[in-house]
């Protein structure tokens, strides 16, 4: 009984004061999944210290999963940037690199029991990446030009592929859509 009363008093004390927002600072351009695209991130998740990640999103089911590939302060981010720079003019090499990244991040994780169709979408992702290999290279070239010269990149929206470079943060956001499922690769620019 004492534990219950103490827990109740703690809950009242905590809820009476302001509660800091865990999503303060993230934007749609960073490692996020926001399933109802509005001005503010308010229906999904974000990772504050990530510099590269993949998300898998199904807005119809209100479900998303974020896998972090690099965090602030580690050398993995620079390795990813170096690969993007090196492969920007090689669509086949870029596709192979992204397929390896997807394999490490989104294609090898466990599928929730209520989302069995995700296995089919995962099986189709490598072929979809290959189908858009030239646009993927153009996307990365736009990302690199933005980093180097702050040259504005308008983005690409073609069929099941979209690409954006955030005009505020400079983050690359590349999306592959299979049915209702989106596989999104996100990476921060060099500091």
Read off the pLDDT of residues 83-121 as tens digits, 9 standing for 90 and up.
Answer: 999 999 999 999 999 999 998 887 776 666 666 778 888
Percent with pLDDT over 70 in the chain: 72
Asked if the model's pLDDT at residue 124 lies above 60, the reply is yes
Residues 6+ apart with CB under 8 A from 95: 129, 130, 133, 136
Asked if the model's pLDDT at residue 30 lies above 80, the reply is no
6 phi, psi to nearest 5 deg: -65, -40
C-alpha closest to that of 116 among 68, 179, 159: 179
Three-class secondary structure of residue 22 per DSSP: coil
CA distance 176 to 157: 10
Asked if the model's pLDDT at residue 14 lies above 80, the reply is no
C-alpha closest to that of 187 among 92, 87, 69: 69
DSSP 152-188: ----EEETTEEEEE-TTT--EEEEEEETTEEEEEEEP
Handedness of CA 32, 36, 37, 42 (dihedral sign): negative
Burial degree of 143 (CB within 10 A; 0-12, 13-18, 19+): buried
The model's pTM is 0.78
CA distance 9 to 130: 58
CA distance 105 to 161: 19
Average the pLDDT over 162-179 and give the result: 91
Asked if the model's pLDDT at residue 147 lies above 90, the reply is no
């Amino acid at each position: 009984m004492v534990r219950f009363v103490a827990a109740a008093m703690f809950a009242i004390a905590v809820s009476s004061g302001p509660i800091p927002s865990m999503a303060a600072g993230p934007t749609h351009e960073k490692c996020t999944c926001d399933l109802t695209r509005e001005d503010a991130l308010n229906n999904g998740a974000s990772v504050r210290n990530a510099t590269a990640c993949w998300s898998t999103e199904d807005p119809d089911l209100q479900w998303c999963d974020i896998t972090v590939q690099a965090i602030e302060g580690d050398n993995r981010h620079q390795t990813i940037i170096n690969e993007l720079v090196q492969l920007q003019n090689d669509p086949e090499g870029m596709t192979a690199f992204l397929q390896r990244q997807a394999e490490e991040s989104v294609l090898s994780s466990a599928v929730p029991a209520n989302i069995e169709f995700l296995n089919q979408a995962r099986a189709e992702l490598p072929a979809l990446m290959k189908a858009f290999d030239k646009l993927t290279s153009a996307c990365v070239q736009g990302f690199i030009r933005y980093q180097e010269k702050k040259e504005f990149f308008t983005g690409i929206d073609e069929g099941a592929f979209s690409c954006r470079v955030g005009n505020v943060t400079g983050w690359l956001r590349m999306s592959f859509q299979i049915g209702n499922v989106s596989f999104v690769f996100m990476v921060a620019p060099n500091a």
